[in-house]
Amino acid sequence: MKDKLMLMIPGPTPVPESVLSALGRHPMGHRSADFSKIMAQVLTDLKWLHQTTNDVLVLTASGTGTMEASIVNFLSPGDRVLVCCNGKFAERWADMCDAFGLAAERISAPWGKALDPEAVRAALEADTTKQIKAVIITHSETSTGVINDLESISRHIKAHGTALSVVDAVTSLGAASVPIDEWELDVVASASQKGYMMPPGLGFVSVSAKAWDAYKVAKLPKFYLDLGKYRAEAIQNTTPFTPAINLVFGLQVALEMMKQEGLEAIFARHHRHKIATRAAIRALGLSLYAQDDAVASPAITAVVTAPVEAEKLRSYLRQRFDIALAGGQDELEGKIVRIGHLGFVCDRDILTAISALEAVLPELGHTAFTPGAGVSAACKVLTAS
């Protein structure tokens, strides 16, 4: 049926009707007083969501753009950095560091496993001359469905005294609690098309006072992504370059919706959906790629589909039910599907996706479950919460 596509991928995520309506407003001048009022509200609400009093800057960029900004604004060529790698997106940031001529050292964990904070601690403690300038962490690894212990890693970074924490929170901000001030995080990057319930196009970077000190001596070239320009203009509730005006309209509405729900309720909803999805997958006789519940991301669940072909499963769900799941990436291509459950997702969406999954699995030869088992397992979680 036309216009019935249901996104259950880790981004872009579903967008509320009220946000879509706001996107359709006639644009206004981005230097006007009316737009400055909207920006003022947006900047205030972003600090609420980020749980910080630090600057939270708005860029017209993707998540990768905000991560590039997080690197070029605070580091110099040849700087030694630690990059914590346990998935495709962490590896992307390591590759980005290589591209900018940084001395990037990878601290790795197997895909599907969480990073070991003790490995980060050991590397930082061995740096007695304080040469390490930053530690880059992907909080929620979208490629595998693992969330890392950012709080513990941040504590070890603070004990080092010199290094900055640079955090990819693209699929954790708005899905999990990221208390920036409490955890003393320095640079935190995220993007609109995930937990913010928005289309792609806006990026956000939170910057601490310590990071701004590093900015003063950073030597990597920058222009459009120069966060100092964004900070200076944010004081006047504006931006240094033309922003995605209509996306800002939508962001204002999305943030208001999030405020009405409340932070704790948002985080509890994402946790509930994670547990329900994982319970359903186990009941259907399939395997979870990240098997440890304690490190499962509230944003996305990766499912090992063997003996069913992952891409055939995705194709059947799309053709039969207009439900989109994400596939595996790099070494996981064709081996897993990824179920997104972040942003504007409700209990009904989880049950719909699991029901559709139950319907197509037997058609693909997988019958090692009792009919209705997946939905029943999910219901037990959802109705108990």
Looking at residue 332, the DSSP 8-state letter turns out to be G
Is the same domain home to 278 and 151? no
**Residue 37 belongs to a domain with what CATH number?**
3.40.640.10
Looking at residue 173, the DSSP 8-state letter turns out to be B
Of 79, 159, 83, 80, which Cα lies nearest the Cα of 115?
83
**Last residue in a domain, options 210, 240, 259:** 259
Residues 17-39, buried b or exposed e (16+ Cβ, 10 A)?
eebeebbeeeeeebeeeebeebb
Is the same domain home to 227 and 276? no
pLDDT at 283: 98
Is the same domain home to 54 and 174? yes
Can you give the residue range of the structural domain that contains 338? Answer: 262-384
In a domain, 277, yes or no: yes
What domain count does the chain have?
Answer: 2
pLDDT at 2: 83
Tell me if 164 sits within 8 A of 70, measured CB to CB: no
Cα–Cα dist 284/263, whole Å: 32
In a domain, 275, yes or no: yes
Question: Which amino acid appears at position 61 of this protein?
Answer: A
Is the same domain home to 247 and 122? yes
The region, left, alpha or beta by phi > 0 then psi within -120 to 50, assigned to residue 138 is beta
Mean pLDDT of 262-282: 98
Length of the chain: 385
Tell me if 345 sits within 8 A of 174, measured CB to CB: no
| Per-residue pLDDT tens digits for 238-249 | 999 999 999 999
The region, left, alpha or beta by phi > 0 then psi within -120 to 50, assigned to residue 285 is left
Could you tell me how many helices (H) and strands (E) the chain has, helices first?
A: 14, 15
Is the same domain home to 243 and 340? no
Token pair listed for 51: 């749980």
Specify the pTM: 0.97
pLDDT at 383: 95
1 has pLDDT over 80: no
pLDDT at 73: 98
In a domain, 9, yes or no: no
The alpha-carbon radius of gyration of the chain (Å, integer) is: 21
| Per-residue pLDDT tens digits for 32-76 | 999 999 999 999 999 999 999 999 999 999 999 999 999 999 999
Token pair listed for 192: 């609109």
Q: What is the DSSP string of 286-306?
A: -EESS--GGGB-SSEEEEE-T
What is the band of 367 on the pLDDT scale with cuts at 50, 70, 90? very high
Token pair listed for 173: 């901000």
| Per-residue pLDDT tens digits for 298-355 | 999 999 999 999 999 999 999 999 999 999 999 999 999 999 999 999 999 999 999 9
Tell me the pairing of strands 146-147 and 103-108. unpaired
Is the same domain home to 246 and 119? yes
In a domain, 21, yes or no: yes
Is the same domain home to 242 and 380? no
Token pair listed for 151: 């709080």
Is the same domain home to 222 and 318? no
Helix (H) or strand (E) holding 117: helix 117-126
In a domain, 93, yes or no: yes
385 has pLDDT over 70: no
**Last residue in a domain, options 232, 259, 286:** 259
**Residue 348 belongs to a domain with what CATH number?**
3.90.1150.10
pLDDT at 176: 98
What are the residues facing 327 on neighbouring strands? 337
- For 48, list phi and psi in degrees, rounded to 5: -60, -50
Could you identify the residue written with the tokens 């985080």?
267
| Per-residue pLDDT tens digits for 144-155 | 999 999 999 999
In a domain, 197, yes or no: yes
**Last residue in a domain, options 195, 225, 259:** 259
In a domain, 126, yes or no: yes
pLDDT at 3: 85
Cα–Cα dist 23/93, whole Å: 31
In a domain, 8, yes or no: no
Is the same domain home to 120 and 209? yes
| Per-residue pLDDT tens digits for 154-186 | 999 999 999 999 999 999 999 999 999 999 999
Is the same domain home to 303 and 217? no
Token pair listed for 248: 């800002």
Is the same domain home to 245 and 266? no
Is the same domain home to 270 and 192? no
Secondary structure (3-state) at 77: coil
